[in-house]
Amino acid sequence: MATPTQTINAKPCSADETFDVLIIGSGAAGLSLALRMPPDVRTALVSKRELSEGNTLYAQGGISAVLDAGDSIDSHVQDTLDAGAGLCDEEVVRLVVEHGPGNIHWLFDEGVEFTRSPPTGSSGYHLTREGGHSHRRVVHAADATGQAMASTLVGQLEQHPNVCLLEHHIAIDLVIGEQRDGRRLRRHCRGAYLLDLHTEQVVSAAARCIVLATGGASKVYLYTSNPDVATGDGIAMAWRAGCRVANMEFIQFHPTCLYHPAAKSFLISEAVRGEGGRLLLPDGERFMTRFDERAELAARDIVARAIDHEMKRLGVDCVYLDISHKSASEIERLFPTIHKRCLELGFDMRREPLPVVPAAHYTCGGIKTDRHARTDVDGLYAIGETAYTGLHGANRMASNSLLECLVFSEVARADILRELAGDPRPQGAIAAWDESRVTDSDEEVVVSHNWEELRRFMWDYVGIVRSNKRLERALRRVRLLRHEINEYYGNFRVTNDLLELRNLVDVAELIIESAQRRRESRGLHYNLDFPDKDDNQALPTVLIPDSYVPRRSEF
């Protein structure tokens, strides 16, 4: 259910200052990085809506970390590698898993209230289970973990002496400077252009370090569990700025979103299956046992594909998720938000199965970063869902995403502080945004029409099951759209919708091109023309933009 967004008015800042750090995006990744910045570092936090609006706010199941004496780091690492279908970077997996408990304790210290009701195990917290995890290791705040995190962290920001806020500012593009270093060209990020959505003016924000924490891109699909802000802006901006982008073919479809015209793909948490929920066909058959010995708790790619397969085989609109065999009081205690929203839509999960379908949920690929969260452009970092760190491989394991946001904000903080302590790069003023050759748009319908068309063909041709022909069709269409949108962008004053559509089109093209390069099926990428996994292709798909210049310190 859409939870009310929270906004704080403390310390709005003027975009015209030069900041030490400019963080674009205020979800788990951006908020935790901002809070971790020392008081003497002047930091601006930018958000295109209210501060708390984003995927983080809607997170349900929880955050995975080794918190129980019966669990182990090795086990969490192994489960993540298994879910990732041979494409995870094991060093990164270990880094994230090892930093997990410390980051959960950081959240405790910030005041996030996690569920403590029994059975709690040695951690003192109730740990739930989700697909792919061989232990109970997901700490949660009932079924509204993201709401608890976002509201607590936003509240804590009010105490921070040196973070200022630019809400309702959408970043348009990064500003890149170029310098000759001997015979080599060096490129560095100097700031960003932002559209103030209240005044409709474009402002420039300069900073020594810029961090993209802009979240995922699942809005590129017609059906998605994500809120409207998930338009892949950071990935598109970084690509245009010369950063490599990796593994974009691995879009995760969550198996269980509520099937109801008014539900907007409302998520039914995987924790419902973790606590015993069973997937049923319309005739009541429990079908997941036919697909994987872990049944409903197989990794997400397997469950989503099985549901898709059964829906197509039987020609049905949905399957069912049933937890009504559990006591009503337990369902109400563990899933109050889901239960309430389902009741509003006419379903009582205490007594009946819920109709569910898969929907686009998570972007496993993104801006390629190194172990320090650095991108290919000096001074530019990427953290959270917008980044590709190597953690998730070909399929993210449930509840590893919020963990990645926290761990990489910690890692980025350390590198940013080192960077700020070093030699400053020449700054100089950022040129003002040039609007001399544009006018107000006369045909808004172009934007809304193209937005619809893009999301529909991505769903139909680049969804859970792909084929060479479908990908070719999608590529032809996306190139036409890109041409049209770029022309529009060059002639008319920018608006929020135009900027998001421009980014979605760029991201869609990256997804399609990555999917075409992978000539096998693995994890979340399934192509009917290459139905098998090929061990010779166990490498990430890395796309390189024309403007890419290798950094001095290579990855």
Give whichever of 276 and 545 is closer to ligand SIN, judged by the CB atom: 276
Chain positions 208 to 227 lying near ligand FAD, rule: CB under 6 A, are 213-216, 225-226
Give whichever of 190 and 219 is closer to ligand SIN, judged by the CB atom: 219
CA angle 167-171-177, nearest 5°?
Answer: 130
Q: Choose which of 23, 37, 170, 241 interacts with ligand FAD (CB under 6 A).
A: 170
Q: Choose which of 87, 163, 206, 229 interacts with ligand FAD (CB under 6 A).
A: 229
Are 407 and 46 within 8 A, CB to CB? Answer: no
Give whichever of 269 and 375 is closer to ligand SIN, judged by the CB atom: 269
CB 400 to ligand FAD: min, Å = 6
CB 468 to ligand FAD: min, Å = 30
Among the options 49, 278, 300, 518, which is catalytic?
300
How far is the CA of 240 from the CAs of 236, 331, 458, in angstroms?
A: 6, 47, 21
CA angle 235-300-469, nearest 5°?
Answer: 65
Q: Look up 240 and say whether it is catalytic.
A: no
| Backbone dihedral region for residue 177 (phi beyond 0: left; psi -120 to 50: alpha; all else: beta) | beta
* Per CB under 6 A, 540 contacts ligand FAD: no
- What span, in angstroms and rounded, lies between the C-alpha atoms of 321 and 332? 16
Which residues touch 452 (CB under 8 Å, ≥6 apart)? none
Q: Choose which of 37, 44, 56, 373 interacts with ligand FAD (CB under 6 A).
A: 56
Are 31 and 25 within 8 A, CB to CB? Answer: no
* Per CB under 6 A, 523 contacts ligand FAD: no
CB 515 to ligand FAD: min, Å = 21
- What span, in angstroms and rounded, lies between the C-alpha atoms of 527 and 250? 12
Site string for ligand FAD, 337-376 (x = CB under 6 A): -------------------------x--------------
CB 428 to ligand FAD: min, Å = 24
507: tokens are 């991201």
Judged by beta carbon distances under 5 to 8 A according to partner kind, the member of ligand SIN, ligand FAD, none in contact with residue 131 is none
Coil vs helix vs strand at 334: helix
Q: Choose which of 385, 419, 506, 509 interacts with ligand FAD (CB under 6 A).
A: 385
Cα separation of the two ends of the chain: 41
Piece of the chain touching ligand FAD by CB under 6 A; list 57-65, 290-298, 314-322, 343-351? 57-65
Identify the CA nearest to 514 among candidates 459, 462, 479: 462
Instruction: Summarize as ranges the residues that interact with ligand SIN (CB under 6 A).
Output: 60-61, 269-271, 398-399, 401
Coil vs helix vs strand at 462: coil
| Backbone dihedral region for residue 70 (phi beyond 0: left; psi -120 to 50: alpha; all else: beta) | alpha
Which residues touch 531 (CB under 8 Å, ≥6 apart)? 521
Which residues touch 248 (CB under 8 Å, ≥6 apart)? 235, 363, 365, 366, 507, 510, 511, 513, 514, 515, 541, 543
Judged by beta carbon distances under 5 to 8 A according to partner kind, the member of ligand SIN, ligand FAD, none in contact with residue 54 is ligand FAD
- What span, in angstroms and rounded, lies between the C-alpha atoms of 67 and 334? 19
- What span, in angstroms and rounded, lies between the C-alpha atoms of 533 and 179? 44
Judged by beta carbon distances under 5 to 8 A according to partner kind, the member of ligand SIN, ligand FAD, none in contact with residue 63 is ligand FAD
* Per CB under 6 A, 308 contacts ligand FAD: no
Closest-approach residue to ligand FAD (CB)? 27
Q: Choose which of 84, 131, 146, 390 interacts with ligand FAD (CB under 6 A).
A: 146
- DSSP type of residue 384: G
Piece of the chain touching ligand FAD by CB under 6 A; list 59-67, 97-105, 276-284, 343-351? 59-67
Identify the CA nearest to 224 among candidates 114, 363, 329: 363
Give whichever of 359 and 508 is closer to ligand SIN, judged by the CB atom: 359
| 3-state class percentages of the chain: helix first, strand second, coil last, to nearest 5 | 35, 20, 45
How far is the CA of 385 from the CAs of 85, 230, 237, 362, 402, in angstroms?
A: 19, 10, 14, 8, 9
Q: Choose which of 37, 41, 44, 63 interacts with ligand FAD (CB under 6 A).
A: 63
402: tokens are 């919020």
Judged by beta carbon distances under 5 to 8 A according to partner kind, the member of ligand FAD, ligand SIN, none in contact with residue 509 is none
If residue 320 lies in a helix (H) or strand (E), which one and from where to where? strand 319-322
* Per CB under 6 A, 48 contacts ligand FAD: yes
Q: Choose which of 20, 27, 318, 342 interacts with ligand FAD (CB under 6 A).
A: 27
Give whichever of 256 and 521 is closer to ligand FAD, judged by the CB atom: 256
Chain positions 261 to 280 lying near ligand FAD, rule: CB under 6 A, are 267
* Per CB under 6 A, 518 contacts ligand FAD: no
CB 267 to ligand SIN: min, Å = 6
Q: How many C-beta neighbours within 10 Å does residue 54 have?
A: 32
Judged by beta carbon distances under 5 to 8 A according to partner kind, the member of ligand SIN, ligand FAD, none in contact with residue 384 is ligand FAD
Q: Exposed, middle or buried: residue 57 (CB in 10 Å: 0-12, 13-18, 19+)?
A: buried
* Per CB under 6 A, 145 contacts ligand FAD: yes
Give whichever of 268 and 512 is closer to ligand SIN, judged by the CB atom: 268
Active site members: 300
Q: Give the residues lining the site for ligand FAD (CB under 6 A).
A: 24-30, 46-49, 53-56, 58-63, 145-146, 170-171, 213-216, 225-226, 229-230, 233, 267, 362, 384-386, 399-402, 405
